[in-house]
Amino acid sequence: MSKILIIAEHDGQALNISTAKCVSCAKAIGGEIDIAVFGSGIDAVAAQAAAIDSVNQVIAVNAEHLAAPLAVNWAAEAISMAEGYSHLLGPSTTLGKDLMPRIAALAGVNQVSDIMEVNGPNSFKRPIYAGNALVDVETAAGATVVGTVRTASWKAAESSGGASVDQREAGSSPASHTRFVGMEVEGGERPDLQSAARVVSGGRALASEENFELIYQLADKLGAGVGASRAAVDAGYCPNDMQVGQTGKIISPDLYIAIGISGAIQHVTGIKDAGTIVAINKDSEAPIFEIADIGLAGDLFKVIPELESLLG
């Protein structure tokens, strides 16, 4: 039987929703599911992890050198407790992408990146070429499976469980060659792009940082998160962390509204799992309309104010 260890993602106070999505992937693999929580002062986070359905136990390691999520320290800690586990999973967020390959290398295996479907305990489906192809990958029997879970492909597991929390001493020692300096968190009060039920995104056609305010206003009216195409980010209309697509965030909101975005394949790959895609673009031939559920060919500077007034 599989024995699965998930490395939890959190900000010190709250568990990131990606962890509950990893649990859903682990359930599809089948077997006993443990969650490891690393950090300093993480009792609340450990309790949230323990509440996720189908979790066998939470292993909480409270240590000063694990307070910042430095891959070098977290990977060493994960490896120190990896014995006996058939699968080590983390989310394919920037945290998991940084961390899990380091764990995989220490375990002497290649990683299965961006698991979107589980065919069996040793067989997985994942996207390549910006989602232009889906491949089945098999892992060798007996070798530890280290994988990242493509969060947009999985629903978060429910939270009504009550697993035990095992408090443990750190099994690793700190690496002195890597030091955490600081973090600048953007976004503010708006819903997090990766877990928002609604997302409004703006593209190059917004034409300026000032005009991008229109996107924020509409998003606020809808209680939506805000995204952007690479073109809008590169042009400096909005911060980098809003970029949706192959090299940005892969998201799966119930409603995605793309405004002034042409729909390059690299962008589309980031929204394929959205429930309903709405596209508003002046150019009725724009490729975004090929994948939109509802399209409106029109000038965004006219449509956005109309939308706002109709939404009341």
Handedness of CA 271, 20, 149, 42 (dihedral sign): positive
Distances (CA, A) of 188 to 185, 191, 192, 237, 262: 8, 9, 9, 17, 27
**Nearest CB to other proteins, comparing residues 163 and 286:** 286
Q: Which amino acid is at 116?
A: M
How many positions of this chain bind other proteins (CB under 8 A)?
Answer: 88
Which of 24, 113, 153, 229 forms a contact with other proteins (CB under 8 A)? 113
Name the minimum Å distance from CB 45 to other proteins.
16
d(CA 96, CA 42): 18
Please report whether residue 181 would count as binding other proteins according to CB under 8 A.
yes
**What is the dihedral angle through the alpha carbons of 279, 283, 285, 291, rounded to the nearest 10 degrees?**
-10
The closest alpha carbon to 274, from 287, 291, 262, belongs to 291
**Nearest CB to other proteins, comparing residues 129 and 167:** 129
**Nearest CB to other proteins, comparing residues 44 and 140:** 140
Token pair, residue 99, equals 């961390």
Residues listed for the chain: 312
Binders of other proteins among residues 218 to 237 (CB under 8 A) are: 222, 230, 233-234
Per-residue buried b or exposed e for 284-296, using 16+ beta carbons within 10 Å of the residue's own CB: eebbbbebbeebe
Token pair, residue 46, equals 């450990």
Token pair, residue 218, equals 């509409």
Q: What does the per-residue mask of binding to other proteins show for 55-94, with x meaning CB under 8 A? A: ---------------xxx--x-----------------xx
Residue 199: enclosing H or E segment and its boundaries?
strand 198-202
Which of 32, 117, 220, 241 forms a contact with other proteins (CB under 8 A)? 241
Please report whether residue 311 would count as binding other proteins according to CB under 8 A.
yes
Binders of other proteins among residues 129 to 148 (CB under 8 A) are: 129-140, 143
Binders of other proteins among residues 266 to 295 (CB under 8 A) are: 266, 272, 275-278, 280, 284, 289, 291-295
Q: List, in order, residues 6 or more apart from 309 with CB less than 8 Å away.
A: none
**Nearest CB to other proteins, comparing residues 94 and 208:** 94
**Nearest CB to other proteins, comparing residues 210 and 285:** 285
Binders of other proteins among residues 6 to 25 (CB under 8 A) are: 11
**Nearest CB to other proteins, comparing residues 12 and 162:** 12
